[in-house]
Amino acid sequence: MIINGTSSQDVAIADRGFNFGDGHFTTIKLTAGQAQLFDLHIARLEQACKVLAIEFNQWDVLTAAITEQAQALQEGVLKVTITRGEGGRGYSAIDCSSANWYLQHRAIPAQYCEWARSGIELMVCEYQQTVNPVLAGLKTLNRLDQVMIKQELDANSMADGLVCSTEGYLIETSVANVFWVTAGKVYTPSTKRSGIEGVMKTHVSNLLDSLGVELETGHYTIDEMLVADEIFITNSVMEVVPVKRIMTPDLSIDVCYEKPYTLSQMIKRVVKWRR
């Protein structure tokens, strides 16, 4: 692990990221020594620092370190974390030290390649995700919603599942954003009140726009999505994964497609050559 530019495994217990989840992160896919969607990841980190009012002035050092690690490691996932630092009085950040940054390398989950080839089965989770318009869209260090969702998935022997907010609207899966196609139009849930605005979601949205494919973002229920012609999920590491089946409390809905060229397959190809 790299901490503030130095190789170390010692994380200060006084770090506010550890104590209060006072920070945020992004996960970058490394391919052939390159950090994929690098500019979008940096933009995400900058936006989170702005919203959380974290004063971070080491962008040049951080970006150089990410580039160096990508070239050295070649493949995998690089998790980039920024915390407010150490100190403050209780929750107050007054007199807090300067921000800390961390780089951690992990392997790409093996199942992601299989999902990309064969599709994924999802369940509809009972757990509902909290609503917080101020923090919505950010990938903060407070991931207890996802921990609870994953416990439900593990108990049902499912890899991933669709999650609604406490307001009853579809938001995302435990690890990915959701898109679906109905009558040639693409839909994706809004993350303005809950959920994470993924880097790959932004990239795919930009690609759809460049291809002239209409994308509508809004508040939708599970039932509205279940009538779709095609469903796929995205994140920066798995990229684009088609959904082949959705398990609901009452029935299993098969959303496999016989068409050889579905939108998700096309987007997967475009993602590969436009990064």
| All residues at 6 or more sequence positions from 132 whose CB lies less than 8 Å from its CB, including other chains | 193, 194
- Residue 17 has, within 13 A of its CA and on its CB side, a CA count of 21
Would you call 172 a catalytic residue per the annotation?
yes
Q: Could you tell me where the beta strands, DSSP code E, fall in the chain?
A: 2-3, 6-7, 23-31, 34-35, 76-83, 100-106, 120-129, 160-165, 170-173, 177-182, 185-189, 215-218, 230-235, 239-247, 252-254
Which residue in 26, 27, 140, 188 is the catalytic one? 27
- Structure tokens that stand for 25 in this block: 């992160």
- Structure tokens that stand for 238 in this block: 């798995």
Would you call 259 a catalytic residue per the annotation?
no
Q: In this structure, are residues 217 and 177 in contact, taking their beta carbons and an 8 Å threshold?
A: no
Which residue in 86, 172, 197, 230 is the catalytic one? 172
Which residue in 29, 81, 86, 139 is the catalytic one? 139
CA dist 264 → 114, 201, 208 (Å): 15, 13, 11
Amino acid at 185: K
CA dist 82 → 46, 100, 196, 253, 265 (Å): 10, 6, 17, 41, 34
Would you call 50 a catalytic residue per the annotation?
no
Catalytic sites, residue numbers: 27, 139, 172
